[in-house]
Amino acid sequence: MPHLRPFVSAVVRPIPITTRDERIAELDRAGHNPFNIRGEKVSIDLLSDSGTGAVSTDQQAWAQRADERYAGADSWYRFRDAVRDLVPHEHVLPVHQGRAAERVLFGCLLGPGDISLSNMHFDTTRANVERLGAEARDLPSPELFDLSSPAPFKGDIDVEAVQAVLDGPEGPRVKQIVVTITNNGGGGQPVSMANLERISAVAREHRVPLVLDAARFAENAWLVTRRDPGYQDWSPRAVARKAFEFADAVVASLKKDGLSHEGAFIAVHDPELADRCEADVIATEGFRTYGGLTGHTLEQLAQGLREVLDPHYLADREHEAASLAERLQAAGIETLRPTGLHAVYVNASPLLPHLQPKHLPDHALTCALYREGGVRAAGGGLFLSTFDENNEMVTPPPFELVRLALPRRVYDHSHMEYVADVLAEIAKNPERVPGYRLTHNPAVLRHFRCRAEPIMP
């Protein structure tokens, strides 16, 4: 059966078309950091899949009916019911985005000297652990580090490693276990249901709360139905519900699988924990029935949470990512396997063999992609490496991946072909791509804030 995209554009926006000279000037102005590039100079924006998707006509229609009352608005109840249709947790609090949910929940669970274990803390998740004086320790499945292995669930947490920490001298310091579905920092790889079941049993046995960072709960559920024969007949909604059942608490950015531009929620069972979170939400986000969100957004989210679990939509998302990855692989460009849903990750080191880790190959490829084609993406290496005070690299990253994040329902096949063609052109003369050195290197959230300059090694 040929693939049929299950939606059409209802409203369109022109994209900027720029010259190479304009892009070179923009890169200089931006300190060679893609996060500093102005949107008006970007043709295809694959920097993030967060808050960048297109809303549906139904979402717009519901938004027109928004109830903007301060407390107890109809829009809140519709949002709450849509969340409660997924999570079994009694207490649901809305907040403006995922990192606010992390700040509030972690603030109630962690203190100085505590440890948070995870399959991989996403960048803001790590920052929200560390700002409390706690340690964020990643214990991913060892399979994650073999970029070409076809293992289906490389996003899993290493349960034996977690068990070893909990049973060792540091055990009493572990105050939360965070499982990120899908594992964004780890290449968008899914977490299996068996892994969730095992880690929840270990967490329960040690009385440590299991927190699900569920930003991509629908995409994880879809990949479970596709990769685990035991779930192939399940609906994505049924898989998502079961995944939530394993968690003591949930933080979920809804800028991804909420199909909206803002929003997130915290869900917990424990009434005492809920009470403490609620006090923080009211003080810093908004009253417990809006959490900083407009009724307009709450309505869009309630409808988005229904649409995101449509198997036709999820199959299309899989097709979009897989076709881009296949086109790149056909041009001899290595991508992380198996391909996930929210992004295609290009392995920069084999593509740019003249650059050593200290020349920041993934950053170099990201800048080349913008310079040559006006395509904006993000490298992951800067976040995963360490530097000394002279900006010299001390620990290289475990992998140098460029993330081509795919905004939901935005780009079509021709845009993806263009991206692949630009990368294929770069790959023909890779030695022309300069390396980079950092000129401004903030210790916290470096990749968002650094500046760099090109160097020819």
Q: Which residues are catalytic?
A: 70, 122-123, 213, 215, 256, 447
Residue 121 touching ligand PLP (CB under 6 A): no
Interface segment toward ligand PLP; rule CB under 6 A; list 70-78, 122-130, 347-355, 374-382: 122-130
Size of the site for ligand PLP (CB under 6 A): 14
Residue nearest to ligand PLP (CB): 98
**In the complex, least distance from residue 212 CB atom to ligand PLP, rounded to whole angstroms:** 10
**In the complex, least distance from residue 87 CB atom to ligand PLP, rounded to whole angstroms:** 16
Residue 281 touching ligand PLP (CB under 6 A): no
Interface segment toward ligand PLP; rule CB under 6 A; list 119-127, 150-158, 275-283, 415-423: 119-127
Where do we find the tokens 């809303």?
A: 55
Closer to ligand PLP by Cβ: residue 191 or 203? 191
Tokens describing residue 129: 């652990």
Residue 116 touching ligand PLP (CB under 6 A): no
**In the complex, least distance from residue 89 CB atom to ligand PLP, rounded to whole angstroms:** 18
Tokens describing residue 113: 């000297």
> What gap in Å lies between CA 405 and CA 190, rounded to an integer?
16
Query: Before 182, cis peptide (omega within 30)?
Result: yes
Residue 301 touching ligand PLP (CB under 6 A): no
Residue 264 touching ligand PLP (CB under 6 A): yes
**In the complex, least distance from residue 389 CB atom to ligand PLP, rounded to whole angstroms:** 29
Beta-ladder partners of 210: 177
> What gap in Å lies between CA 381 and CA 447, rounded to an integer?
9
Tell which positions 172-211 bind ligand PLP, by CB under 6 A: 180, 184
Provide the terminal-to-terminal Cα distance of the chain, rounded to the nearest Å: 49
> What gap in Å lies between CA 209 and CA 234, rounded to an integer?
27
Other C-beta atoms within 10 Å of 350: how many? Answer: 15
Residue 50 touching ligand PLP (CB under 6 A): yes
Closer to ligand PLP by Cβ: residue 98 or 140? 98
- DSSP symbol at 292: T
Candidate residues 62, 76, 79, 122; the one interacting with ligand PLP per rule CB under 6 A: 122
Interface segment toward ligand PLP; rule CB under 6 A; list 60-68, 96-104, 309-317, 346-354: 96-104
> What gap in Å lies between CA 196 and CA 335, rounded to an integer?
27
Residue 226 touching ligand PLP (CB under 6 A): no
Tell which positions 345-404 bind ligand PLP, by CB under 6 A: none
Residue 125 touching ligand PLP (CB under 6 A): yes
Interface segment toward ligand PLP; rule CB under 6 A; list 84-92, 120-128, 394-402, 431-439: 120-128
**In the complex, least distance from residue 138 CB atom to ligand PLP, rounded to whole angstroms:** 13
Q: Judge contact between 293 and 286, C-beta under 8 A.
A: yes
Interface segment toward ligand PLP; rule CB under 6 A; list 93-101, 192-200, 204-212, 435-443: 93-101
Nearest CA among 177, 103, 171, 106 for reference residue 138: 177
Segment (H or E) for 187: none
Residue 144 touching ligand PLP (CB under 6 A): no
Tokens describing residue 22: 């304009």
> What gap in Å lies between CA 197 and CA 202, rounded to an integer?
9
Residue 98 touching ligand PLP (CB under 6 A): yes
Tokens describing residue 142: 């060892």
Residue 285 touching ligand PLP (CB under 6 A): no
Tokens describing residue 328: 């790149």
**In the complex, least distance from residue 182 CB atom to ligand PLP, rounded to whole angstroms:** 8
In angstroms, the Cα distances linking 448 to 30, 73, 281, 359, 442 are: 12, 36, 26, 18, 9
Q: What string marks each residue from 229 to 258 as x (binds ligand PLP by CB under 6 A) or -?
A: ------------------------x-x---
Closer to ligand PLP by Cβ: residue 43 or 189? 189
Candidate residues 116, 124, 335, 349; the one interacting with ligand PLP per rule CB under 6 A: 124
Residue 219 touching ligand PLP (CB under 6 A): no
Q: What is the CA radius of gyration of the chain?
A: 21
In angstroms, the Cα distances linking 455 to 45, 190, 310, 359, 376 are: 25, 37, 47, 8, 20
Q: What is the identity of the amino acid at 96?
A: H
Give the helix, strand, coil percentages of the chain, each rounded to 5: 45, 15, 40
Closer to ligand PLP by Cβ: residue 124 or 339? 124
DSSP 303-336: HHHHHTT-HHHHHHHHHHHHHHHHHHHHTT--B-
Residue 305 touching ligand PLP (CB under 6 A): no
Closer to ligand PLP by Cβ: residue 30 or 129? 129
Which residues of this protein are in contact with ligand PLP, per CB under 6 A? 50, 97-99, 122, 124-125, 180, 184, 213, 215, 253, 255, 264
